[in-house]
Copies of this chain bind each other. A is one copy, B any other.
Amino acid sequence: MRNIFFTVGPTQIHPKLGTFLNDGLKKGVYSISHRGREFGRIFAHTVSSLKKLLNVPRDSHVFFIGSATEAMELIIENCVENKSFHFVNGAFSKRFFLTAKELLKHPEACTVPAGEGFDFAGVKIPKSAELVCFTQNETSTGVMVEMKDVRTLKKRNPNKLFAVDIVSSTPYAPVDWSVVDCAFFSVQKGFGMPSGLGVLIVNNRCIKRAEELHGNRVNIGSFHNFPTLLKYARKNQTPETPNAMAIYILGRICDSYNKYGIEKIRKETESRATAMYDFFDKHSAYKPFVKNKKWRSKTVVVFNTPNGSASVIKKLEKHGHIVGAGYGEFEAHHIRVGNFPMHKMGDVKKVLKILG
């Protein structure tokens, strides 16, 4: 029996990953020069297919980097001289905030307890904040932020840059690029790929900001600063020798998603999420961790395990279903279930049946 990974990333791989990996092998993708025409074609194709899938504006730029964690560092370095502002409700939104601290900036945050969302109407963002940072889907707790709230905030703060972590929400959750200046994700979640590639999407306002900072002798980093990434992206290249394999495979997977249809992917994701939340709402012991329905993530479903998570994980593992424990302090008290395009309703139902 093959295991099915319902973990929140790395997770179940895309069903055609093996085919794509071996296609790359046959075509010599892992030997070609990252400065040559063939790689340029792969780069351009992946960017174009991804832009189509995520509805990214033509004049925004797609950068390939190492990880979503790296994206946080690059965004802070390239968009912030002194102050960023962060909406923190879990480990990953907190990491974005702490990244700014580590880089010797002076970030501020609006922090709410784990499992809760934000009362955006009541939040005052300091005037001096240059960048506002959201986590569309807090992977540690399964809380999501709605795009309409981001929109409202942007209207009230039109001159600040807005950055959104879309790590575990994409490609399911739409991004309103008219209010989001940069967003980033990694490929081991909604794209069902091996980890090792981060994707950072930035608009020209971010590029301009980075150039301004550089002009003011602010340290914006070296090979992966935005102007350098852009200089190479314009040639369909990266500054360093990149993870060409992952760039190639991401393109193939975007193609397959585009062919299948993002709206169909969205509907199916929502059906599986609804099946899970309905089940847990009615369950005698396992209740959804996120109480407020409008905050409940569709891609990371978290439920309480009053008698500990370990025995539940073991029970599911026996049947070949791998789920994740809670994050950090919740390790023993939560189960986290990833709900990505590779997952199937039939398997979700099996999981729920076992949880009875």
Chain A residues packing against B (C-beta within 8 Å): 3, 5, 7, 9-13, 17-18, 21-22, 24-25, 28-34, 65-70, 72-73, 76, 98-99, 102-104, 186, 188, 193-197, 217, 219, 221-225, 239-246, 322, 324
Closest to A228 in B: B102
Known A70-B240, A243-B243; 18 more pairs at CB < 8 Å: A10-B30, A10-B244, A13-B30, A17-B30, A21-B25, A30-B194, A34-B195, A67-B241, A70-B224, A186-B241, A194-B244, A195-B241, A195-B242, A195-B244, A195-B245, A196-B197, A196-B243, A196-B246
Report whether A102 and B221 are in contact in the complex, using a CB–CB cutoff of 8 Å. yes
Task: Tell me the minimal C-beta distance from A192 to chain B in angstroms.
Answer: 9
Report whether A68 and B240 are in contact in the complex, using a CB–CB cutoff of 8 Å. yes
Contacts of A12 in B (CB 8 A): 31
Compute how far the CA of A314 lies from the CA of B215 in the bound complex, rounded to whole angstroms. 44
Residue from A5, A11, A31 whose CB has the most chain B CB atoms within 10 Å: A31
9 CB < 8 A contacts A-B: A21-B21, A67-B242, A68-B240, A102-B221, A102-B223, A103-B221, A196-B243, A196-B246, A219-B219
Report whether A34 and B22 are in contact in the complex, using a CB–CB cutoff of 8 Å. no
Compute how far the CA of A72 lies from the CA of B242 in the bound complex, rounded to whole angstroms. 15
Task: Tell me the minimal C-beta distance from A232 to chain B in angstroms.
Answer: 11
Task: Tell me the minimal C-beta distance from A81 to chain B in angstroms.
Answer: 13
Task: Tell me the minimal C-beta distance from A254 to chain B in angstroms.
Answer: 18
Contacts of A324 in B (CB 8 A): 33
Compute how far the CA of A13 lies from the CA of B70 in the bound complex, rounded to whole angstroms. 28
Binding site secondary structure of chain A? loop
Contact check: which of B10, B197, B240, B246 meets A31 at CB < 8 Å?
B10
Given A244-B194, A244-B196, residue A10 in contact with residue B34 (CB < 8 A): yes
Contacts of A68 in B (CB 8 A): 240-241
Contacts of A69 in B (CB 8 A): 223, 239-241
Contact check: which of B9, B18, B21, B24 meets A241 at CB < 8 Å?
B9
Closest to A10 in B: B31
Contact check: which of B22, B193, B239 meets A22 at CB < 8 Å?
B22
Task: Tell me the minimal C-beta distance from A93 to chain B in angstroms.
Answer: 15
Closest to A194 in B: B30
Task: Tell me the minimal C-beta distance from A198 to chain B in angstroms.
Answer: 8
Compute how far the CA of A153 lies from the CA of B313 in the bound complex, rounded to whole angstroms. 57
Closest to A102 in B: B222
Compute how far the CA of A102 lies from the CA of B240 in the bound complex, rounded to whole angstroms. 15
Contact check: which of B73, B225, B239, B243 meets A195 at CB < 8 Å?
B243
Report whether B18 and A223 are in contact in the complex, using a CB–CB cutoff of 8 Å. no
Report whether B241 and A188 are in contact in the complex, using a CB–CB cutoff of 8 Å. yes
Contacts of A103 in B (CB 8 A): 219, 221-222
Nearest 6 interchain pairs by C-beta: A196-B243, A66-B66, A69-B240, A30-B194, A67-B240, A102-B222
Contacts of A28 in B (CB 8 A): 3, 5
Contacts of A29 in B (CB 8 A): 194
Given A10-B32, A31-B11, residue A225 in contact with residue B66 (CB < 8 A): no
